[in-house]
Amino acid sequence: MKYKHLYVVTRRDLFPGYQGVQSQHALAEFAFQYPEEFKTWRRESNYLAWLSVGDEDDLKKLAIKIGRADVKLVAFFEPDVQFQMTAIAIEPGAKSDRLLKKLPLALKGIK
């Protein structure tokens, strides 16, 4: 499988800086939980796609959809906000591309 983008999805209802930090947590957790997949992605691609959904409910629904498609993902739950799901990182691949192609870029429209 040719690796492309490793995806990170966050929530638009979070402040922009918080979206960034939470996304970095999810990416770091993906690297920790899936070190071989992360190394392969890094070696073959190193492209990131930073996307967003509206809120925590949207993020949870997306995580379920991705999990049902048998795609590896890691969800990050932030202790500082009552362990809400704030971001997810999703493995690269054709399935991920199809599942995420309609999501907007993170921070889109913020000036």
Predicted confidence (pLDDT) per residue in 40-54, tens digit: 999 999 999 999 999
- What is the dihedral sign for C-alpha 80, 30, 56, 22? positive
Inter-CA distances, 25 with 29, 68, 85, Å: 6, 23, 11
Q: Write out the two tokens for 46.
A: 């190193």
C-beta of residue 11 within 8 angstroms of C-beta of residue 59:
yes
The mean pLDDT of the chain is 95
Entry pTM: 0.95
pLDDT per residue as tens digits for the range 53-91: 999 999 999 999 999 999 999 999 999 999 999 999 999
